[in-house]
Structure 1
Amino acid sequence: MNTLKSRLTLLFGGLAFVATAASTWVVSDLAVDALRKSTGQNLEEIAIQFRDKIDLDLYERYNDFKVVSAFVSPLLESGREAEIAPVIDALQHNFSSYAWVGLVSPAGMVIESNGGLLRGADVSQRPWFKQALKQPYMGDAHDAILLAEKLYNPTSAPLRFLDLAVPLRSEDGTLLGVLGAHLYLDWVANMGRTLMTPMRKRLNAEFIVADQSGAVLIGPPGSVRQALPEALINRMKTVESGYLTTALAFNDTPTETQDYLVGFTRLQGRGEYESFNWWVLVRKPTAEAFNTARDLRTSLIMVGLVVAPILLLFVSLVARWTTRPLLKMTAEASHLDPEKPDTLIRLRDDYAEVKTLSSVLRDLIRSLANKTRE
């Protein structure tokens, strides 16, 4: 209908609808941003906790060996090798993540080890032995070689170790041998699982540990030995820690295209122990991370669908109240009789504009009537 009431209803009803839709969109976007920030910071904090735990445990293992070497060196110098075996067994017993602990001669022959593993073997060409001839050494993750067939492996994946070795010297600095060890890399994975278990129901996130090149050391099924996305690595290199959204898919899982919210940081080392520069990441699918925001958006849309008809009814009533005196004046004007010049439009005071308009029309009609009499 081409009336003022219908036009006002359409105009203000449309404005109300647009305002409701816009506010729903803006509020939901703000909620997503706030939730992204909150969840991202949580993931970053967990990654930092995991990083600190790894750094602390590696530092403790490093110190263990320094303390043990100070105890073993005098025994070795005085020819009491037989007393060293119980020390090695106790070291492995107190920290079960030691896969192997051994005493090696300066020539690279294994003199003693836990359980007699590799006793008499030549390890002179192993990198950890060569490095430990000069100074204490911690070696990055690698596949088991000499021990691959000698240790129980409950999985089909190759055993992977971290190396730890220190030189043993006499009081005058003469090299007496090397105390070396292999730590199961799974020890780091167990730490991560222990850390994540209490918050799994609340957060449902996964952790990933990657070496300094970005190759995954520990992570979800199918991710180990795969490379992190180059864009992610480049971003992580710019800050000490942080969070971001990225498509964290791996080469052997091409169907994994969903985005993840990822908190990340990097090992820092502690004291004399220099870190491996590993990356520590905690990821959560954005589809799960933003569930609350999407639920809020859905709720706002539902509220909007309920409120919109109410607003439309309200606008219709306002339009009716606004146009009612105008319609009455229109009806009165249409019934004016030229033969009855004294007929006037009623003076109305519904609101200021109507009062002014009715007064002006009355004056105009009165003026016309006077001219007619003349």
Structure 2
Amino acid sequence: MIHLRRTAAMLAMRHRSLRQQVTLLVGFLCFGLVCIVAAGAAYIAQSRVRGIVMANEAQQAAMIANILNRGMFERYREARNLAAMPALKTIWTGDPAGIRQTLERIQASYPDYAWIGYATPDGTVQAATQGMLEGQSVQARPWFQDGLKGPAVGDVHEAKLLAKLLGPAPNNEPFRFVDVATPVHDDAGLVIGVIGVHLSWTWADETRQSILGSQFYGEGRSIWILSTDGTMLLGPQIGSKPFSEEQVLSMRQAKAGAFEDGSGAGSMLTGFAAAEGYRDYPGLGWIVISRQPDSIAYAATRGIVWMIMGLGCAIAAIGLVCALFIGKSVVRPLQTIIEAANRIGRDPAITQLPRVTGSLEIVQLSSALRSLLRRAGAAEQQVIETSSRHAKDVSTLRHLAETDALSGLLNRRGFSLLADDAFSLYRRYERPLAVLILDIDFFKTVNDTYGHAAGDAVIRSVGAALTKALRTSDKVARFGGEEFVVLVHEVDAGGIITVAQNLRRAIEALTIEHQDHRIAVTVSVGGAMARRSDEDVQEVIERADSALYRAKAAGRNRVVIDGMQIQLASAVA
């Protein structure tokens, strides 16, 4: 069987030109050598890079754990200092307003203190920042019970009642807190109360984001914080357990280290470090995880491999040039055909390939290409004619599909295409974008009084007036009935009011003549500026539509912009 394959390969090579044989042999040899060298280099480089990256990930995790420990130590120390400060001894037994004022000053010095409260020994909150939870009992809360015994720190948790009072978190996730509590003693050493501090867990998230966003932290890397039992406290899928109990136990015993995690879609080089506290802060047993996809970690290795491949290809190219030079004299007739083919379409005098002599293959190739050119010329003319008709038909259909037949403006579909593109540019480059919705006031009265033909004339006149009053970069569309929508580019909050008022005044000053009647109309205008929180342009349109309803309710013929006081819009009107 092997002998038959070898014989077939030799027969195939005999039917190739000398240039082809030399080129194939040199190409296969160079390619094989390049692959062998590249594979060896990749293996060596990847092994070394893996060790370096895993050590770096462990070091990063240890650094972050140290940052968390020191941050929690500062909060722990501040709470104890607050309870033991001699200057404040008389405040804790004084007026609750004075206690509240002191607590609010402390909160102002560190905004991540979501709540600070002072509770009497029976668990009643006597004073708290912003007056939250005052008069309520916290006797059953773990932080209060631990705080009666001595300085204590509680792990991350949710506080639903406090979260309701604080409002939504900045990232729209449930509020979570770390508790710090410490007892307050009188001069005799008796516990007269407990100071409780709820530290917002967003503090840790901001620390993580600042590290991830630094120029030294590569793309695709992630930082997680796990509780002592391996529950996700900060990272994707909060509350899940990404590692097995055995892995968590191993990390806690090892304190710091690195391993390769292949449990997900891709292999991750993972470093870890246990946060064991700092000085007299006991720590909560957090485990910090720093991860990086191996595909990113080995990017430098791939660069080396590609460099070797490039060098090998350059050497292969030199070999190929030598092989081509050797076979040049043999394939000169083929070169003649190539040169003539390259000139077709560039030189008007060349419309056909020349007849050449040489090997049987060259003669057959020349004849086949000449026949192909004759067929291609006829087919090309047919394609050009068909394409021209198709382009005209597509252009006509697209215009009809995106244009309002009555006003000649864009319709809803045409506007949506432009608006989606504009919103994408806004999200990418933060170029200001706004939407205005105009509705003709008492349009039904126009139809009832003068007839639908007069209503159509009003629609056309209003559309023309809006187009004339807008910049060429702004687009106006009719969504149906008496409603018009305007897409305004490059305008700030003050400018959108000016644009809206200009449009309103243009319509107010418009006199429409229909038969023997002179019709005057006004419009109500609602508007909204695009915001980063908007998922798409439809949310901007919905807010503008809500503003339009407020303009209608406020008396019509006026402008209301979303997010501004209606008195301001009315005053400008």
Give 1:241's aligned residue: 256
Deviation larger for 211-220 or 70-79: 70-79
Selected match of 1:226 from 237, 240, 265: 240
- TM-score, normalised by the number of residues in structure 2: 0.47
Give aligned pairs, total.
294
Q: What letter matches 1:52 in structure 2?
A: N
Distance 1:78 1:104 in 2: 11
Give 2:192's aligned residue: 176
Taking a change above 3 Å as real, the CA distance of residues 148 and 16 of structure 1, as seen in their structure-2 partners, is: closer
Deviations along 1:189-229, one digit per CA (max 9) or x if unpaired, are 00111223223664542111111111111114xx2111122
SS in 2 for 1:130: helix
Question: Quick check: 1:266 aligned with 2:274?
Answer: yes
Q: What letter matches 1:197 in structure 2?
A: G
- The 5 A counterparts of 1:329-348 are none
- The unaligned stretches of length 5 or more in structure 2 are 1-5, 7-27, 323-573
Selected match of 2:61 from 25, 38, 47: 47
Give 1:206's aligned residue: 222
Question: Quick check: 1:116 aligned with 2:131?
Answer: yes
SS in 2 for 1:199: coil
SS in 1 for 2:162: coil
Give 2:301's aligned residue: 293
Give 2:183's aligned residue: 167
Shift of residue 77 of structure 1?
6.3
Deviation larger for 189-198 or 232-241: 232-241
Q: Is the Cα–Cα contact under 8 Å of residues 232 and 246 in structure 1 kept in the other structure?
A: no
Shift of residue 48 of structure 1?
1.8
SS in 1 for 2:163: coil
SS in 2 for 1:133: helix
Taking a change above 3 Å as real, the CA distance of residues 111 and 198 of structure 1, as seen in their structure-2 partners, is: same
- The unaligned stretches of length 5 or more in structure 1 are 2-13, 250-256, 315-374
Question: Quick check: 1:35 aligned with 2:53?
Answer: no
Distance 1:175 1:299 in 2: 72
Shift of residue 106 of structure 1?
0.3
Deviations along 1:113-168, one digit per CA (max 9) or x if unpaired, are 00100000010000110111111110001111321211121444321111110001
Distance 1:69 1:140 in 2: 21
Deviations along 1:87-125, one digit per CA (max 9) or x if unpaired, are 201111111111110010000000000010000001000
Shift of residue 235 of structure 1?
4.2
Distance 2:305 2:240 in 1: 37
Question: Quick check: 1:192 aligned with 2:200?
Answer: no
Selected match of 1:281 from 284, 289, 306: 289
Deviation larger for 104-113 or 289-298: 289-298
SS in 1 for 2:146: helix
Shift of residue 307 of structure 1?
4.2
Give 1:132's aligned residue: 147
Deviations along 1:221-265, one digit per CA (max 9) or x if unpaired, are xx211112216424423422222221354xxxxxxx111111211
Give 1:86's aligned residue: 101
- The 5 A counterparts of 1:67-82 are 67-71=81-85, 74-76=89-91, 79=94, 81-82=96-97
Taking a change above 3 Å as real, the CA distance of residues 235 and 296 of structure 1, as seen in their structure-2 partners, is: farther
Shift of residue 273 of structure 1?
0.7
Taking a change above 3 Å as real, the CA distance of residues 42 and 313 of structure 1, as seen in their structure-2 partners, is: same
Q: What letter matches 1:225 in structure 2?
A: G
Give 1:333's aligned residue: none
Q: Is the Cα–Cα contact under 8 Å of residues 232 and 240 in structure 2 kept in the other structure?
A: yes
Give 2:565's aligned residue: none
Q: Is the Cα–Cα contact under 8 Å of residues 277 and 283 in structure 2 kept in the other structure?
A: yes
Q: What letter matches 2:208 in structure 1?
A: G
Taking a change above 3 Å as real, the CA distance of residues 194 and 21 of structure 1, as seen in their structure-2 partners, is: closer
Question: Quick check: 1:158 aligned with 2:174?
Answer: yes
Taking a change above 3 Å as real, the CA distance of residues 201 and 183 of structure 1, as seen in their structure-2 partners, is: closer
Q: Is the Cα–Cα contact under 8 Å of residues 118 and 128 in structure 2 kept in the other structure?
A: yes
Distance 2:250 2:301 in 1: 26
Distance 1:146 1:171 in 2: 34
Q: Is the Cα–Cα contact under 8 Å of residues 75 and 83 in structure 1 kept in the other structure?
A: no
Q: Is the Cα–Cα contact under 8 Å of residues 216 and 228 in structure 1 kept in the other structure?
A: yes
Q: What letter matches 1:89 in structure 2?
A: E
Question: Quick check: 1:215 aligned with 2:223?
Answer: no
Taking a change above 3 Å as real, the CA distance of residues 65 and 295 of structure 1, as seen in their structure-2 partners, is: same
Question: Quick check: 1:25 aligned with 2:39?
Answer: yes
Shift of residue 42 of structure 1?
2.6
Question: Quick check: 1:63 aligned with 2:77?
Answer: yes
Distance 2:258 2:277 in 1: 21
How big is the alpha-carbon RMSD for the aligned residues of Structure 1 and Structure 2? Answer: 2.9
Distance 1:38 1:312 in 2: 40
Distance 2:138 2:165 in 1: 15
Distance 2:117 2:321 in 1: 86
Identity %: 25
